[in-house]
Structures are given as C-alpha cells and as structure tokens.
C-alpha cells in the first residue's frame, strides 16, 4: 500500500526537497502552501516526475480551520495519513528583540509554534492507534537557531524553534506508546529562500 505524507510548507526549500525525496520513494504527498500556488504546483510536478503522487493543499498552519481542512483533504484524496512533516516556518527581517513589534512577534509565534502544535495535534488525532489510527510518523523541522539563539537576527524565531524541540520531546513520549514515532531535525544554514 502506498504511504501518504502531508508536508507543511512543502512548496519550497526543505519542504520541496523532502517532497521530491518521498516522491522518489513512491509516496503520495500533500504539498501544503499558504499563498504561492505556482510554487506548490512546481513541487507537485517534481514529485510526480520522481515517481510519486502529489496534491497541492492551500492552508495557513496558524489557522485551525485551515489545518483541519488540510488533513481532511489529504485523507479524502489518498486515504489514511501515514506521516506528517511539520515544516512550515517563517522568519522576519534581522533585528534585535528591542526593535521587534508585537505584530511581528505574534505572527512568528503563531506560525512557528501554534501552527506546529495544531498540525501535530491533527496528526495525533488521526494516526494514534488508541484513536482508531494505524500509527505513523511525525517529523518536526526545528532549527540550529534553537541552540544558538540567533542574537541580533531573530531571537523570536530561535525561541519558536526551541518550543518545537520541547514539543518533540513530549510528543515522542506521549505518542510512542500509541504507535506514532515523533522526531525532529535541526538544520543549520541551508541555501533556501528563507535565508536568502
């Protein structure tokens, strides 16, 4: 049976590379994006060229209704969900914390923390064996910034990724006995648009 994954922020950067790799391994891939449909369609085409199936799925991870709809859509299209790559994340222009306004902080934490939690929650609800699921995998994409702090650049982003690390530890213990393996990867500087 073909396995299915939802990749948040799957239209570019690390998300796109992950989608392409899983496509080459025969997975069905939900490519989540927020606004750039053209980029998501490019990723879908790359997944299909690699040998997988793919579907662009619009949605803001910081919006609960969008998150639920994303998970519903992938299940309606491909059947059960086997994995979540919790990858969506944003940064803002480099500056010291003293210069950051509330709007920036709110958006960074809403996407990078609340969004990651909402997506992990939906995956847990659908994959946990004690809730009728068949088990699965959650991979949270953290950042080396969580350990380095990103001083004078984006301590808000670094703190958000620290929260993702902590969520990963807790969920690994909470969901492991329920058939869901939870891990994180902590990339360093990768040549993607987020760093450009």
Give the dihedral of Cα atoms 62, 39, 138, 170; nearest 10 deg: -40
Give the dihedral of Cα atoms 143, 42, 21, 173; nearest 10 deg: 40
Sequence-distant (6+) residues with CB within 8 A of 136 are 81, 82, 83, 84, 123, 127, 179, 180, 181
Least Cα distance to 142 among 163, 114, 168, 161 occurs for 161
The H helix count followed by the E strand count for the chain is 7, 6
Euclidean distance between CA atoms 109 and 67, whole angstroms: 16
Say which residue the tokens 């450009």 belong to: 196
Do residues 30 and 6 make contact, with C-beta atoms less than 8 angstroms apart? yes
Active site residue 33: no
Which listed residue (33, 117, 154, 157) is catalytic? 157
Q: Which are the catalytic amino acids?
A: 157
């Amino acid at each position: 049976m073909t396995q299915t994954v939802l990749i948040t922020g799957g239209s570019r950067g690390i998300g796109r590379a992950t989608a392409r790799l899983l496509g080459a391994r025969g997975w069905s891939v939900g490519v989540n994006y927020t606004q750039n449909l053209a980029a998501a369609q490019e990723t879908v085409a790359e997944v299909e060229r690699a040998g997988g199936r793919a579907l662009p799925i619009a949605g803001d991870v910081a919006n609960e209704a969008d998150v639920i709809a994303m998970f519903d859509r992938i299940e309606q299209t491909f059947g059960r969900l086997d994995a979540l790559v919790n990858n969506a994340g944003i940064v803002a222009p480099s500056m010291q914390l003293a210069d950051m306004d509330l709007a920036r902080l709110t958006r960074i934490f809403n996407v990078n923390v609340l969004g990651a939690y909402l997506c992990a929650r939906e995956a847990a609800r659908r994959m946990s064996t004690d809730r009728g699921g068949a088990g699965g995998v959650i991979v949270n994409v953290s950042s080396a910034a969580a350990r380095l702090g990103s001083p004078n650049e984006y301590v808000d982003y670094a703190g958000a990724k620290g929260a993702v690390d902590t969520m990963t530890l807790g969920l690994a213990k909470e969901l492991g006995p329920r058939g869901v393996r939870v891990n994180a990867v902590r990339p360093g500087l990768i040549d993607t648009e987020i760093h450009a």
